[in-house]
Each structure stands twice: as C-alpha cells, then as structure tokens.
Amino acid sequence: MRKISGSRHIISATVDVNNFSGACKGTGRIQIRLNHGETADQVKLNYLRKGYQVADYNLDPRKKPIVTGIPHQPQQQEWQDARLVKQNELLSK
C-alpha cells in the first residue's frame, strides 16, 4: 500500500469482507497522512497508474455516533487553584 501511494504515513487500511463466506469483496479504504509537499491528487494518480479505482470517502453527516460523539451541550468547567479558592472563602467569612 505504502509503495503504491508514494506517501510515508498510512494511518489505517481496511478491506471489505463478505461476512458469510469470508471472501474479500475487492474494495477497501485507506487513511493517509499527507506530509509537506504531498497532495491527495498525487496519491490518487499513483493508484490510478497501478490500475486501482480511487474515490474520496465522505462521512455521512446524518450519522450520529452515540458513544464517541461530542455532547450536544458542552459542559462548562472552570479550573481554579485550590489555594486561591480557600483564601477567598476565608476572606468572605
């Protein structure tokens, strides 16, 4: 994969498999981190030259991950120094 893409960092590579037969479907995805001077078009061109079909993968915006999703209303947290809080409590009494 890395030799074909011409990039240095492949984050993940997955192959689509038929769950019943265990056979490869012939499709898959790779996630690549591009370095300075590398472009997505160059990587696509490298795969096309080797005979692979290439398309950008876009996440479905309607999907809402339950477990790993960002909460709808972020909780406000205020971090303070405990010594200053105690001093203010003692001064206010």
pLDDT digits (tens, 9 = 90+) for 50-75: 888 888 877 777 776 666 666 655 55
Which pLDDT score is estimated for 70?
Answer: 61
CA distances from 5 to 24, 55, 80 (A): 21, 14, 49
- Confidence (pLDDT) at 43: 82
How many Å separate Cα 29 from the centre of its chain? Answer: 12
Instruction: Residue 9: name the closest of 47, 36, 46 by CA.
Output: 36
